[in-house]
Structure 1
Amino acid sequence: MSKRTHTTEVGSIACTDLSDLGAGKEGWLVNDPNLLCALDMHTIALANRYQTVIINWADPEGLVAKIRPELSPIASEYITAIEWLVFEEMRALAVGTSRGYFLVYDLKGDLVHRQLIHPGRILKLRVRGSRRDLTQDTAEEEVCVVMPGVLARFDGSEIQKMLQRWFQDSNSNFWDQKPKQRDSEDLENSYERLPHQLWNVSKYGPCADAAITGLMPPPLMEVQSSQRYFCAVTIGEDSVISAFRLSEDRSRSLVGAILSKVVPATFSTISSLSKMIWRSEQSPKKSEPKPQSFARGKVS
């Protein structure tokens, strides 16, 4: 009997532009710790420390774009995270750097937005969809920026509005005979800073990974309001996993730790860890034996 294969070829990323990322060497796609990858429906983005290549893997002769961010040579800045931003028909690539800058590029490789989140290295960029209200079916996208001991959250609607303005301006400049070339500094001042929430989650030390897993109810004995609370799960560098209740209101931005426990370092995904936490929380705890009370005595 012939050997069965459970894989199907869906595309190819063979491209001469990948030679700048180390393509052509055996194991270049797996053994390079500095190589980052982000996969979309029809495109793939590959990045090393200083440049990014966007390829249409469904059509190798189609879209190819090279991105070389303006990084600070004095601070030895480099690319640390990439992720796709998809809003209906609009697609863009988010890039995080070692200095805490959040960059957004279109599919042509043009810089759309540049913003400093917090001084420090961006570890991960995560995009997730969530329900805006537990009683409604309306959904929203959110972008989570993970840094050592710091979490930032962007509302997807704000990023979508920014991309809509960018594409409208790009279409209007298409008919301009002398389009204006803007550098990163001018672009950083051309639009308002994207509003976002920023939390300090370093109560148990710097984190190696983190994610906002969804909404959660407010603390007990608190007046009900329209205020939203988010649940965040962090994994420390010492394999300590913690869950936090994050307040949306800056005036009440104290981060409350819900749970913290040590887990084996072999766990690699946020989802499996968060499920393990909530299952362990539901298990009944044995009450500790109380000491016997003193008998009443009388002094004679």
Structure 2
Amino acid sequence: MARRNHTTELGSIACDDLTELGAGKEGWLVDNPNLLTALDTHSLAVANHSVVLVLDWSDGSDPTGPRVKIRPTLSPIESEYISSVEWLVFDDIRVLALGTSCGYLLIYSLRGDLIHKQIVNPGRILKLRVRGTKRDLTEDTSSAEICVVMPGVVARFDGSEIQSMLQRWFQETHSQFWDQKKNPVDSGSSNVRLPYQLWNVNKYGSCADAAITGIMPPPLMELQSSQRYYCAVTIGDDAVISAFRLSEDRSRSLVGAILSKVVPATFSTIASFSKMIWRSEPKSTTKSEAKPQPFARASPLTCLKDHPRKGEKLTLSPSGTLAAITDSLGRILLLDTQALVVVRLWKGYREASCLFMEMLVNRDSAASSSAYYEHVKSDYCLCLAIHAPRKGIIEVWQMRTGPRLRTIPCAGGSKILQPTYRFGSSSILSATYVPLEVFLLNGDSGQLSVLNRSLD
């Protein structure tokens, strides 16, 4: 009986440049906790403390060709290092976003040019989470956001703001390329500050990971306004799961509204009176450092404490309604982010990693079996891929309460990855539906494969 093949090989990333990142030793990809990876549709970014290597694994690429190396300028005094990496894809614009241990967000082009540098909040950036939700398949609109996760802090950037900044930068770069009289591009658009929201979510202790799951209704007895509220789910050492209602406005409460009106008027009166008595000091001409943004209001909703269990990793479904959470006791919790209840539990999966994917599970009709049939979204079912490295397998479970569909053996030193969300109108207007896929990277051999979507 022929052995079933549950994966499809795509290519190899093996090259000499990977030796700088530790390649060559068995298990180098998974044993080093400081080694970061981010996958795009045809590129892979691998980073350590001080360098990012971009590898192209598209069809027909030259394995011995030049690689893109990005060496960001980091502060040696603060021992700054790269703590997170993620792709940002807007239609035909592809850039790389880096988070540092000092709280800086860096955006680089694929040529290694620094496009933007901005401090989010003092502290280490744990994760850059890119997410987009299509509002309507018939409309060319979608909500895009970049969530920055830090210990006890969550920030949210609007994707449209970043896209506009990138479009301006690339247009200026193109015009300077043709106009040789202009000065070359400087090191990043430091004069442009992207607006964002910032929340303190350390009510139940510092978080190890977090995610903004979507928009939620305002609380009862709250004044009606145009401000939106978001739901954030955090995990950590003190609280396995905690949830918060995030407000966009920093002065929504009655006390905050009074203080926002009275305090500035009081200080203005005092300042005017003091100028009549004392001479005003000359203004300083030195450029002041960028100050961290004040926090907006975050209201705690619920919390699950179960000592000594600790939350480790969080994975969000495409719609944001489900979250898979791994803990220190080898359990995987499936959380309904709207009802804030655990709807499923798996045990015996220590050091596991989870990613959501879509599989073809309903192929009974004659049309779907035809070679000319193009699958639509209704043909796919949401599943959860669980990589258990201690067992050496990948299990695929149907959501929410479905059975285990597949068990795939995988070699040691492997990691499951998923391409970042692609913003823009092209993905919405495309006639062919692109399902959510999970890729398998074997670090020891450099082989990159994709999990097959069909159960046949």
Q: TM-score, normalised by structure 1?
A: 0.85
Where does structure 1 lack aligned partners over 5 or more consecutive residues? 284-300
Which whole-Å CA distance do the structure 2 matches of 1:225 and 1:5 have between them? 55
Q: CA deviation at 1:281?
A: 4.8
Q: Deviation string for 1:216-249 (max 9, x for gaps)?
A: 0001122332210000001122343110000011
The residue number in structure 1 matching 2:97 is 94
The residue number in structure 2 matching 1:244 is 244
The residue number in structure 1 matching 2:150 is 147
The residue number in structure 1 matching 2:120 is 117
Q: CA deviation at 1:269?
A: 2.8
Q: Deviation string for 1:268-288 (max 9, x for gaps)?
A: 3341257246556599xxxxx
Question: CA RMSD for the aligned pairs?
Answer: 2.4
The residue number in structure 1 matching 2:324 is 272
Q: Deviation string for 1:105-145 (max 9, x for gaps)?
A: 11111111000111100000000013579xx8831210000
Helix, strand or coil: the match of 2:8?
Answer: coil
Which whole-Å CA distance do the structure 2 matches of 1:86 and 1:282 have between them? 33
Which whole-Å CA distance do the structure 2 matches of 1:140 and 1:64 have between them? 33
The question of 1:24 aligning with 2:24 is answered: yes
Q: CA deviation at 1:150?
A: 0.6
Where does structure 2 lack aligned partners over 5 or more consecutive residues? 253-295, 316-322, 326-333, 344-456
Ranked by relative contact order (alpha carbons within 8 Å, sequence separation 6 or more), the top structure is 2
Identical aligned residues as a percent = 60
When residues 269 and 49 of structure 1 are mapped into structure 2, their CA distance, relative to the original with a 3 A threshold, is same
Alignment of 1:1-300 (within 5 A): 1-58=1-58, 59-61=61-63, 64-130=67-133, 138-177=141-180, 180-181=183-184, 184=187, 187-189=188-190, 191-252=191-252, 253-262=296-305, 264-265=309-310, 268-270=313-315, 271-273=323-325, 275-276=335-336, 278-279=338-339, 281=341
Q: Which runs of at least 4 in structure 1 moved beyond 3 Å after TM superposition?
A: 60-63, 176-184, 263-268, 276-283
Letter matched to residue 38 of structure 2: A
Which whole-Å CA distance do the structure 1 matches of 2:93 and 2:245 have between them? 32
Aligned length: 278
Helix, strand or coil: the match of 2:300?
Answer: strand
Which whole-Å CA distance do the structure 1 matches of 2:189 and 2:79 have between them? 20
Helix, strand or coil: the match of 1:269?
Answer: strand
Letter matched to residue 275 of structure 1: L
Q: Deviation string for 1:66-123 (max 9, x for gaps)?
A: 0000001111100000001011111111000000000001111111100011110000
Paired residues of 1:199 and 1:246 also in contact (CA < 8 A): yes
Which whole-Å CA distance do the structure 2 matches of 1:66 and 1:24 have between them? 19
Letter matched to residue 123 of structure 1: L
Letter matched to residue 156 of structure 1: G
Paired residues of 1:115 and 1:188 also in contact (CA < 8 A): no
The residue number in structure 2 matching 1:298 is none
Q: Deviation string for 1:40-83 (max 9, x for gaps)?
A: 01111000011000111112446721000000111110000000
When residues 282 and 209 of structure 1 are mapped into structure 2, their CA distance, relative to the original with a 3 A threshold, is closer
Q: TM-score, normalised by structure 2?
A: 0.57
